[in-house]
Structure 1
Amino acid sequence: MEDTTKLNTSKLGTKKYWDDFYSLERGNFKENPEDTGECWFNDNDAEQRMVDFVTENLAEFDNKESKVIDLGTGNGHLLFALCEDDFAATMLGVDYSEESVRFAKEIAASKEYDVSFAQADIFDASWNPGEFDIVLDKGTLDAIALSGLTVGENKRPVVEVYHTVIEKILKKNGVFLITSCNFTQEELTKIVQSEHLEVWETIKYPVFEFGGVKGSTICSIAFVKK
């Protein structure tokens, strides 16, 4: 049976594409401080649904002693949305694009958001940011899956080892919330679920029906670390 979790490579999975993209967005922001860049999955209201899920279901982490990390943070929009909702956890956004990190830092400074950002290769064995109560991914695995990159001596596709990154940085009983438009709920579960990560909850989206088959163009799953 064909492995549907494997996607064809694309420029959307390259660091150069995102450096160029966020360089352009930084330029737009300098000309217009109200232009804080693209809000990914905005058509599906995914960002607000993720924020609502965190604030409604993870209130125990609504304090400065708790830590949140956003993987592939881009312009930091998801973390800024949490700030706007007064979620008080200590927040860090990481991205492998230096331009993305510069852009997010510039927005945070201009809007006075208390959020930190750092450039990082999350698949580098030496990357060790500590452990977090909440790990977020809004479309990052989608981009990673298009990169065609491999890691380690065995040259394993990054998608196959993604769950080990989450296990490394997520505290016990912590929550990993991921949103994808490239993978179905079943495919995403297959990629992420492991001995230590299990499905906890899902976010509901409008369902369409075509040819007698029902589905959604996007899915969000919360995993808990046991």
Structure 2
Amino acid sequence: MAESKPTPLEPSKLGTKAYWDALYTTELTTHTADPSLEGTVWFDDSDAEAKILSYLSPQDGSHPNHPHPHSLSPATASVLDLGCGNGSLLFSLRDDGWSGHLLGVDYSPHSIALARQVALSRESESLKTVEFKVWDVLNGDIPSISPPEAAQGWDLVLDKGTFDAVSLSDEKDSQGRRINEGYGERVLQLLRTGGVFFVTSCNWTEAELREWFETSTAPNDQNTKLRMVGRIDYPSFSFGGVKGQTISTLCFEKVVVDA
């Protein structure tokens, strides 16, 4: 494994569970008073959810420039959303025809309470219900959330801002690392071989995300690793001769390492 890692972020209150519990408590109260107010949709100003859905659209020849010809079927693919918040991304997938096993997890019980309440307010919709569970991405028991129909792992794992929040925590793991350094290892454990992982970030550049998930995350005991296979384009800007985006979304596939 290469030792290259991006420069750590300065810790912030956004990396604490207390911050997210307080935020989702407020949003839960607001939704109770007015069900039309479902809470924050992260990266909504960049239209991230719509872009992710477009990327994941079935490969029927209608997207000739599709960056990654995945084989996921909306009818059967199992989907796990890490740090699901109010469940917005999973609801969008469901409304777009993804009717397999959809599970959102979050370590804040107030987030899960909000997501479940939003789901109930939408229960008249005809598509399959989304499931939500309180679960810690870094410390939760993986078998407890494994899709029953696919014991080898999830077909699709999503992260829209959760790695950002974890990267703002000053907590250390049992190896003395900042806890975000073990995030890629957990993603590998959650995915089936051939499954894909989407991560959207406003704190890390594309190059840094590749370092975290493709370079710094070592192959696991099954000799699999994460390999970048695609990216999503967002409006770019130039400053000082350098071109960039305000957010980044990369797609990684869990692949077997060549012998």
**Shorter-chain TM band:** over 0.9
Q: Distance in 2 between matches of 1:84 and 1:133?
A: 19
Equivalent residue number for residue 211 of structure 1: 240
- What is the TM-score of this pair, normalised by structure 1? 0.93
Q: Deviations over 1:136-176 (max 9, x none)?
A: 00000000000112222x22211211111000010010000
Contact 1:149–1:157 (CA<8 Å) still a contact in 2?
yes
- Counterpart Cα distance in 2 of 1:150 and 1:132: 27
Give the stretch that moved more between structures: 112-121 or 10-19. 112-121
| Aligned residue in 2 for 1:164 | 185
Question: 1:35 maps to what in 2?
Answer: 37
Of the three residues 65, 82, 105, the one matched with 1:94 is 105
8 Å Cα contact 1:68-1:89 kept in structure 2: yes
Contact in 2 for aligned 1:150/1:156 (Cα 8 Å): yes
Match of 1:60 in 2: 72
Residue 111 of structure 1 is matched in structure 2 by 122
After superposition, residues 82-161 of structure 1 pair within 5 angstroms as: 82-112=93-123, 114-124=129-139, 126-128=141-143, 129-130=145-146, 131-152=153-174, 154-161=175-182
Separation (CA, whole Å) in 1 of partners of 2:7 and 2:163: 11
Correspondent of 2:53 among 46, 51, 54? 51
Secondary structure of the 2:57 match is helix
Extract unaligned runs of 5+ from structure 2: 59-68, 147-152, 220-224
Bigger proportion of residues as helix: 1
SS at match of 1:150: coil
Structure 2 partner of 1:187: 208
**Code of the aligned partner of 1:225:** K
- Percent identical across equivalent pairs? 39
Amino acid of the residue matched to residue 219 of structure 1?
S
Report the Cα distance in structure 2 between the residues aligned to 1:177 and 1:52, rounded to whole angstroms.
Answer: 13
RMSD over aligned Cα atoms: 1.6
Residue 125 of structure 1 deviates from its aligned partner by: 6.0
Q: In structure 2, what is the equivalent of residue 69 of structure 1?
A: 80
Give the AA of the match of 2:120: A
Please list the CA deviations of residues 65-114 of structure 1 after superposition, one character each: whole Å capped at 9, or x if unmatched. x2100000000111011112122221000000000000001111110261
Q: How many residues align?
A: 223
1:107 maps to a residue whose letter is V
Larger deviation, residues 39-48 vs 120-129: 120-129
Larger Cα Rg: Structure 1 or Structure 2? 2
Residue 42 of structure 1: CA displacement? 0.8
Distance in 2, matches of 1:84 and 1:126, equals 29
Q: 1:175 aligns with which of 184, 190, 196?
A: 196
Letter in 2 for 1:97: S
Q: List gaps (5 residues or longer) in structure 1.
A: none
- Corresponding residue for 2:222? none
Write the distance in 2 (CA, Å) between the matches of 1:124 and 1:116: 20
Three-state SS of the structure 2 residue aligned to 1:202 is strand
Q: Is 1:225 equivalent to 2:254 in the alignment?
A: yes
The answer to whether the 8 A contact 1:199-1:221 is kept is yes
| Alpha-carbon spacing, 1:125–1:45, altered in 2? closer, same or farther (3 Å) | closer
Q: Hey, what's the Cα distance between the residues in 1 that align with 2:12 and 2:80?
A: 26
Alignment partners' CA distance in 2, 1:148 and 1:51: 33
SS state of the match for residue 39, structure 1? Answer: coil
Q: Deviations over 1:11-33 (max 9, x none)?
A: 11110111110010011101111
Using the alignment, how far apart are the partners of 1:84 and 1:18 within structure 2? 26
In the other structure, the counterpart of 1:200 is: 229
CA contact (8 A) 1:70 1:94 kept: yes
